[in-house]
Amino acid sequence: MSRIHLSSPDVGPLEEEFVVDAIRSGWVAPLGPHVDAFEAEICERIGVEHAVALSSGTAALHLALVSWGIGAGDAIPTSTMTFVATANAITYTGATPVFVDSDPESGNIDAALLDRAIGDLKAEGRSVPAIVPVDLFGKCADYTAVGEVAGRHEVKVLSDAAESLGANHAGGPAGSFGDAAVLSFNGNKVMTTSGGGMLVTNDRAMADHVRFLSTQAREPENHYEHREVGYNYRMSNVLAALGRAQLRRLDEMIAKRREHRQTYAELFADVEGVTILGRTGDDADNCWLTAILVDEAITRWSPRELSEALDSSDIESRPLWKPMHLQPVHADQPTVVNGASDALFAAGLALPSGSVLTADEIGRVTATIEKFLGERS
């Protein structure tokens, strides 16, 4: 019996065809025709003018902030409920991440708290040049509200859309919001390049600068000339080929994940005390991960107990992101919190959601959950 994972890569003959083409072309190092084509195709999909394919979403976050001149002395409000890469990228620049709590319904950043955080920081005389809202588990943040806050305070918006490619908000695609956005193609995302990411923006000067920085900031000389500190952050042609094939299959992979979410919604529909995180309005989501919230006072069982039952059947599950203000590495950073993300972390459990899951595997997951629920009814 093989282990069922949360979100394994979904690759097949089309990906093989594209990767073989890249290898046979001789373009196996960073850059090449597939990189150029991948950037153009992502721009067309999202509706932005410029894209820079990079080695990871973290690299995209880092270079966007570097390109904006963000550094020591700057305070950058961001979502506390996120993967650590968001906070780390801010820290790489020497700036201070400021963790803002979640809207309890979606898990995304609370725009009212964000407004308060920026106002308080500026009242203290702090420099707040940018904010980094995060799209959680495939649901776009409320960019209507976030954009209003950013405009009022005159700060740039870097959208961390690492988890949300294929989702939308108010008719706009994930990655199209803010002054720039970052995508991730890590192995567990809806679509993958094994490892990789991308910066997307309508700002040509920013895209050109990020592209320059990502190739060790080499000046256009025959010899190696460098006037800025650069980084080795460019995506390889082989990985871009994989990404191009995945992009062609993106909608079908999202549809499969949506089917899994519906299965879980039906499974828990009559279970008092259990809800699907972000279910309201999730027709606009990419359903990267489906997570449940468990009210132990009602269910009389905990997310951890269900997770242990799943693990006994060799099925992976995982708590939600541990909020950054609770992480030891970032515990001394400033916060504006109200307990929402703490509650989500305590109550949440992500379930297998990958588009590669077979009917038999989903059946095994649901049978395990049904058995668990039956034993506790």
Q: What is the pLDDT of residues 182-214, one digit of tens each?
A: 999 999 999 999 999 999 999 999 999 999 999
Same domain, residue pair 60 and 83: yes
Q: Specify if 31 maps to a domain.
A: yes
Give the per-residue pLDDT at 29. 79
| pLDDT digits 0-9 by tens, 45-82 | 999 999 999 999 999 999 999 999 999 999 999 999 99
Q: Looking at the domain assignment, is residue 149 inside a domain?
A: yes
Q: Which residues form the domain of 89? A: 13-248
Give the CATH number of the domain where residue 360 resides.
3.90.1150.10
1 pLDDT band (50/70/90 cuts)? confident
Q: Distance between CA 102 and CA 291 in Å, rounded?
A: 16
Indicate whether 233 belongs to any domain: yes
The total of structural domains in the chain comes to: 2
Buried b (16+ CB within 10 A) or exposed e, 327-337: eeebeebbbbb
Same structural domain, 236 and 261: no
Q: Bin 306: left if φ > 0, else alpha if -120 < ψ < 50, else beta.
A: alpha
CA-based radius of gyration for the chain: 21
What pLDDT band is residue 28 in, cutting at 50, 70 and 90?
confident
Domain end, chosen from 248, 269, 286, is at: 248
Percent of the chain with pLDDT over 70: 100
Distance CA 92, CA 227 (A): 20
Question: Both 287 and 174 in a single domain?
Answer: no
Question: What are the Cα distances from residue 165, in Å, to 51, 192, 292?
Answer: 14, 11, 21
State the pLDDT at residue 377.
Answer: 81
pLDDT at position 30: 80
pLDDT in tens, 238-270: 999 999 999 999 999 999 999 999 999 999 999
In terms of domains, do 236 and 327 share one?
Answer: no
Residues 365, 284: one domain? yes
pLDDT digits (tens, 9 = 90+) for 13-25: 999 999 999 999 9
The mean pLDDT of the chain is 97
Residues 122 and 111 in one domain: yes
pTM score, whole prediction = 0.96
- Check pLDDT > 80 for residue 349: yes
Residue 177 has pLDDT above 80, yes or no: yes
What is the reported pLDDT for 76? 98
Neighbour order of strands in the sheet with 156-160: 50-54, 197-201, 180-184, 156-160, 130-131
What is the distance between the alpha carbons of residues 135 and 165, in angstroms, rounded to a whole number? 10
Average pLDDT over residues 215-241: 94
Helices H, strands E: what count in the chain?
13, 13
| CATH classification of the domain holding 240 | 3.40.640.10
Write down which residue in 194, 227, 248 finishes a domain. Answer: 248
Same domain, 160 and 263: no
Domain boundary residue, one of 196, 217, 248: 248
At 226 the pLDDT is 93
Residue 4 lies in a domain: no
CA distance 231 to 254: 33
* Contact between residue 230 and residue 218 where contact means Cβ atoms under 8 Å apart: yes
